[in-house]
Chains A and B, each alone.
Chain A
Amino acid sequence: MEYVSPEGLRLDGRRPMEMRQIRAEIGAVSKADGSAIFEMGNTKVIAAVYGPREVQNRNQQISSHALVRCEYSMANFSTGDRMRKPKGDRRSTEISLVIRQTMEACILTHLLPRSQIDIYVQVLQADGGTRSACINAATLALADAGIPMRDLVTSCSAGYLNSTPLLDLNYVEDSAGGPDVTLGILPKLDKVTLLQMDSKLPIDILENVMQLAIEGCKAIANYIREVLLENTKQLEYRRGV
């Protein structure tokens, strides 16, 4: 199957280095300490953060820093065919772990000892790049909850199909079986917190694909900063500051 046309266009009409339309909204869940909706094309994700709060299970309490927990789940209707997977399937468990470890790398947990931070992520619509969207949504939700972080974490995927590096893969491209690199970075510090790759890829091409993913992450970081700034302005306006 041809994923990039001779004119250099992908199946959904994007250019190889073009991202899908992104949209974010803060404060989607009233009861949560922080929450956000993040959309990348047809992938829609909602994240909620509860905490810092008292540790539920005293045996897990850590005296030196906060305990970070994460749960990723997909709505039954999020994919083409209705999902019948049990709640704790392997993929969900793996993605929960990935998100938790990625977020732990940026949260200043030592400032919140003996407490617990719960990050819950729900996929409402899946069209490729769900783990990237989840990380971006979780970052926004953590910022909304006022949890201290070293920097924002932003994530984006890139792949290599038809001898062309592609940015921000959708479901069709993702399931084509080609290499898929998911990257998470701290944009200001220029540090990588997450790097996952499926399938084989020559090292010289990996650099190009990674560079493409980094550019995608930085573009998302700029957008997230704008959203946070706009939200802060609205809060100031509401409080009459």
Chain B
Amino acid sequence: MGLPNVSEDLSSEMEVDAFRRLFPLRYFERHLAESIRPDGRPLGKARETSIFLGAVASANGSALVKIGSTTILTAIKMEVMTPSLESPDEGCLAIDFHMPPICSPIVRPGRPAEASPVVSKQLSDTISSSKMIDLKELSLVSGKAAWMAYLDIYCLDADGALFDAALLSAVASLSHLQIPVVAMNDDGKIVLVSEEDGQKREQEPVNKEKRKLTLRSIPFSLTCILHKNYILADPTAEEESIMETHVTVVLDTSGQLISLYKPGGPVLAYTSAIQDCAALTRQRVKELKSFLDKANSAMEVE
């Protein structure tokens, strides 16, 4: 008796799936009319978020962030460089966002994904304009040596809201960053002091007290989709491809607006819609701040 029901369920499931593929917009709009999304989320709710610090053992700081299925891995490598003449007592931060072909069926080997340079630029601008890091903290010897922090951000699974996940991952890895201890040798060169032979060295470490960066006014972001009168927070890749108008709002922990990004799209946003997006972002910032604090305190316990 059980078998016919199973086949009926399968056929109806097939019909739903076929409808979803053939008429994606109508499928979504039917859900939106009920103020719900196909994955069961309310319109203003973000997907489940998790942060794992220290995911890469070979890096000085790293974080794996998952927002729904979107997975981003960030690792920081520190290298000593000669600072520029314009800013002799400042270090440098280089941010690179990579989309390897594993992350999405759209990304093919050979040519880089369109989104890569765009997200890289957005991240660089956001982190520098938020004044989250004082680059003077990356200085070792004024005019002679400073840290160059390479942030390599890899998208392992692209399922929408890439910028949000990338920014969260970058911020998390910066909060996890352990700056290596270095000393100046007799030739005036900066050398790493390994943990074991730290005691035996005659040279005094240059940066004994500067092991962690002080992060001020941390930026967090939320991407929303505007479709007719609806605002959908934290879209999936499918939602992004169907409804093309995105608004990304970046706020810091003190609630200040850092950047607002609306790259065209068919929907012209009213001021009220932008304000609604900002309100949703404000809520999301609190959430993300608590996630990051939990992840950091878990690391301290370990």
Binding site for B on A (CB under 8 A): 28-32, 35, 42, 46-48, 50, 53, 56, 69, 71, 73, 75-82, 118, 120-122, 124-127
Contact = CB atoms under 8 A, between A and B. Distances in A.
Given A30-B157, A76-B150, A77-B77, A50 B105 contact: yes
A36 B56 CA distance: 17
B58 A76 contact: no
Given A77-B62, A125-B56, A125-B58, A30 B77 contact: no
Contact of B75 (A48, A56, A77, A118): A77
Sort A-B residue pairs by CB-CB distance and give the 3 closest, nearest first.
A77-B75, A30-B69, A48-B102
A120 B109 contact: yes
B224 to A, nearest CB: 21
B52 to A, nearest CB: 13
Given A71-B109, A124-B56, A125-B58, A30 B159 contact: yes
Contacts of B77: 76-77, 81-82
Contacts of A31: 69, 103-105, 157-159, 237
A29 B108 contact: no
B259 to A, nearest CB: 26
A227 to B, nearest CB: 19
Contact of B152 (A42, A75, A126): A75
Contacts of A35: 102
B111 to A, nearest CB: 11
Nearest to A141: B102
B102 A80 contact: no
Interface of B: 56-59, 62, 69, 71, 73, 75-77, 79, 96, 98, 100-105, 108-109, 150, 152, 154, 156-159, 237
A56 to B, nearest CB: 7
Contacts of A28: 71, 156-157
Contacts of A73: 100
Contact of B102 (A69, A81, A120, A126): A120
Contact of B101 (A71, A76, A77, A81): A71
Given A42-B57, A71-B109, A125-B58, A76 B96 contact: yes
Contacts, number: 84
B109 A32 contact: no
Nearest to B55: A124
A209 to B, nearest CB: 28
Contacts of B75: 75-77
A31 B102 CA distance: 9
A122 B237 CA distance: 22
29 contacts: A28-B156, A28-B157, A30-B69, A30-B157, A31-B103, A31-B104, A31-B157, A31-B159, A32-B102, A32-B105, A35-B102, A47-B102, A48-B103, A50-B105, A69-B109, A71-B109, A73-B100, A76-B75, A77-B56, A77-B77, A77-B152, A78-B56, A78-B58, A80-B58, A81-B77, A120-B102, A122-B102, A124-B56, A125-B58
Contacts of B56: 77-78, 124-125
Contacts of A56: 108
A82 B103 contact: no
Contacts of B96: 76
A82 B76 CA distance: 9
Contact of A125 (B57, B69, B101): B57
A46 B152 CA distance: 17
A77 B100 contact: no
Contacts of A48: 101-103
A203 B258 CA distance: 67
Nearest to A50: B105
B58 A120 contact: no
A35 B104 CA distance: 11
A56 B108 CA distance: 10
B181 to A, nearest CB: 17
Given A30-B69, A124-B56, A125-B57, A75 B103 contact: no
B218 to A, nearest CB: 22
B206 to A, nearest CB: 20
A46 B156 contact: yes
Nearest to A80: B58
Given A30-B159, A31-B158, A120 B100 contact: yes
Contacts of A77: 56, 58-59, 62, 75-77, 150, 152
B120 to A, nearest CB: 13
Contacts of B71: 28-29
Nearest to A126: B58
> Which among A30, A35, A122 has the greatest number of chain B C-beta atoms within 10 A?
A30
